[in-house]
């Protein structure tokens, strides 16, 4: 957690606590939201006033990084960033979530919401070259785009590219270890 900026930490406080700027954070709700007017196979706009299903930051404040999941029961959960989305998608039992139906994450260059099953995730851990607001994997629509990205950095290689099927507890702990029970 030492690598996180104080701004990112300020947004990840528990329900209703004040941030460093003196503003109260939104009341956290890990309860998936009902969106009867939006089919579960379509994305929806992150509404104001709800919080990330993992870290409790407000997804609406991060339109270029937020993500979302739909559940088989028709409910939807929003996230502030790809790291929170992959945590919830990979370990839904940690959050007492209904069965996950689909998850969409914002693709890095375009910021379009793309189904997680169609993405290649670069397992980057440096916030300054990823997607705000915290340490996140960098999602790409194609594996060739992901390969081009890792070639730009000496500390990354093709072994740092993962598909949705590769996601596991170990990868999630790289991004959101402070929100996941370690002894399961």
Of 14 and 72, which is predicted with more confidence? 72
Residue 99 burial (CB count, 10 A): 8
Note the pLDDT tens digit of each residue in 87-123. Answer: 999 999 999 889 999 999 999 989 999 999 999 999 9
User: DSSP for 162-183?
Assistant: EEGGG--HHHHHHHHGGGS-TT
> CA nearest 81: which of 119, 127, 13, 43?
127
Residue for token pair 């528990």: 14
CA distance 48 to 80: 12
Q: What is the pLDDT of residue 10?
A: 33
Average pLDDT for the chain: 82
pLDDT at 47 over 50: yes
Q: What is the pLDDT of residue 130?
A: 74
3-state class (DSSP) for residue 131: coil
- According to the 3-state scheme, what is the secondary structure of 19-47? CCCCCECCCCCCCCEECCCCCCCCCCCCC
Q: What is the pLDDT of residue 29?
A: 54
pLDDT at 16 over 50: no
- Apex CA 159: angle with CA 170 and CA 104, to 5°? 65
Average pLDDT over residues 33-49: 85
Q: What is the pLDDT of residue 58?
A: 95
CA distance 75 to 44: 11
> CA nearest 110: which of 139, 88, 134, 132?
139
- According to the 3-state scheme, what is the secondary structure of 60-117? HHCCCCCEEEEECCCEEEEECCHHHHHHHHHCHHHHCCCCEEEEEEECCCCCCEEEHH
């Amino acid at each position: 957690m030492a690598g996180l900026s104080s701004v990112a930490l300020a947004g990840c406080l528990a329900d209703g606590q004040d941030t460093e700027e003196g503003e109260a954070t939104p009341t956290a709700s890990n309860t998936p939201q009902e969106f009867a007017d939006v089919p579960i196979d379509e994305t929806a706009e992150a509404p104001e006033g709800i919080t990330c299903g993992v870290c409790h930051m407000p997804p609406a404040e991060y339109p270029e990084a937020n993500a979302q999941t739909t559940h088989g029961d028709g409910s939807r959960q929003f996230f502030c960033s790809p790291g929170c989305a992959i945590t919830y998608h990979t370990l839904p039992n940690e959050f007492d979530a209904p069965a996950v139906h689909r998850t969409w994450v914002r693709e890095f260059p375009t910021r379009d919401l793309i189904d997680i099953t169609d993405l290649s995730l670069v397992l980057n851990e440096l916030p300054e070259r990823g997607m705000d607001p915290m340490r996140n994997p960098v999602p790409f629509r194609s594996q060739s785009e992901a390969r081009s990205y890792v070639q730009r950095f000496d500390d990354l290689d093709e072994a740092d590219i993962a598909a949705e099927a590769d996601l596991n507890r170990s990868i999630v702990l790289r991004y959101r270890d402070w929100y996941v029970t370690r002894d399961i």
